[in-house]
Amino acid sequence: DIVMTQFPDSLAVSLGERATINCKSSQSVLYSSNNKNYLAWYQQKPGQPPKLLVYWASTRESGVPDRFSGSGSGTDFTLTISSLQAEDVAVYYCQQYYSIPNSFGQGTKLEIK
Amino acid sequence: QVQLQESGPGLVKPSETLSLTCTVSGGSISDYNWNWIRQPAGKGLEWIGRIYTSGSTNYNPSLKSRVTMSVDTSKNQFSLKLSSVTAADTAVYYCARDRMGYVYEYWGQGILVTVSS
């Protein structure tokens, strides 16, 4: 099974500042035949289900603000929020869909400083 | 707009079988793959399993011996059965539709299932 590890576990950032969340997979999630990274990011607010933000490591889901961006390849990935807004307070999860069982990181809690 | 709604008992006794149903509206259940994902309170997400358009299934190996998923196309519903439950199975259970077996694009609101005598 692929283990996903996120860091930090929690993060406090001032409004308008950049937030960076990291995710590392225990093995590469880059599929060589199509050069795609099978990595997604989700946002979960209290009492709500997760919401898909980014897939293929860097493709933003329709309707997601462009302040959210994903990057990375292989085993190391980053979700960046370029200018933190109050509504971005949430827990963020990375997920690999390279292999079964699909697996998630433990989550990173993002708060306002 | 696709909507998913979980239903079932909120309390299950230890050693019994947890049974949940997800009702899909706004689209045909036959055209997509469907998943169950759970989240213990204050913890992360665990994928339980997937049922494909063909009716075949994939389960998380950690739960495989206890999980059964099925689809009822006439009711636009799919279901989860988890046998021999313990307190460790207490969690919010989500149903979700995936995109071609990859990411989870639509989710239900979740249902809290507590395992307790």
pLDDT in tens, B74-85: 999 999 999 999
Give the mean pLDDT of B13-24. 98
Q: B108 CA to chain A: closest CA distance, Å?
A: 7
Asked if pLDDT for residue B25 goes beyond 90, the answer is yes
Give the mean pLDDT of B93-103. 92
Interface test with A, best of B36, B94, B103, B106 (most A CBs within 10 A): B103
Mean pLDDT of chain A: 97
Asked if pLDDT for residue A45 goes beyond 90, the answer is yes
Q: For residue A65, is the peptide bond before it cis, meaning its omega torsion is within 30 degrees of 0?
A: no
Query: Are A52 and B110 within 8 A, CB to CB?
Result: no
Count of helix runs (H) and strand runs (E) in chain A: 0, 13
Percentage of residues of chain A with pLDDT beyond 70:
100
Q: A23 CA to chain B: closest CA distance, Å?
A: 14
Residue B54 binned pLDDT confidence (cut-offs 50, 70, 90): confident
Considering only alpha carbons, which residue of chain B is nearest residue A95? B103
Asked if pLDDT for residue A78 goes beyond 90, the answer is yes
Q: Which candidate, B14, B4, B9, places its Cα nearest to that of B87?
A: B14
Asked if pLDDT for residue B116 goes beyond 90, the answer is yes
* C-alpha dihedral, A43 to B101 to B22 to B40, nearest 10°: -50
User: What burial class does residue B93 get, using C-beta atoms within 10 Å of its C-beta: 0-12 exposed, 13-18 middle, 19+ buried?
Assistant: buried
Asked if pLDDT for residue B55 goes beyond 90, the answer is no
